[in-house]
Amino acid sequence: MATTLYRCRTPTDWLCPCGRVARELAKDGEDVEIVRVPWRRRDRPEVQALSGQRSVPVAVIDGEAICDSKRIVEHLRWRRAPTEAR
């Protein structure tokens, strides 16, 4: 699974929604490319190009951009679930 996480510059994984996604991705043990974006939303054109908005976190998983920490975590847990549970 090729994954890129666009997240804020908060230095820890415990203070923001971006950290929640980073912790969930760490559970998988996959290689994740982390892209720290500028604090100001107006300085995030790459995020807007991917998702149509300038908010983070945005995860690009196998070429699909997913916005919002809750949706990203839900998607990761769904991918991790056994196929018979889907």
- Whether residue 57 is preceded by a cis peptide bond, meaning omega within 30 degrees of 0, is yes
CATH number at residue 9: 3.40.30.10
- The pTM of this model reads 0.89
Q: By residue range, what is the domain housing residue 61?
A: 3-85
**For the chain, what is the domain count?**
1
What pLDDT score does 81 carry? 85
Q: For residue 33, give the H/E element and its range.
A: strand 32-36
Confidence of residue 86 (pLDDT cuts 50, 70, 90): low
Query: 49 pLDDT exceeds 90?
Result: yes
Confidence of residue 82 (pLDDT cuts 50, 70, 90): confident
User: pLDDT per residue over 23-35, tens digit each?
Assistant: 999 988 888 999 9
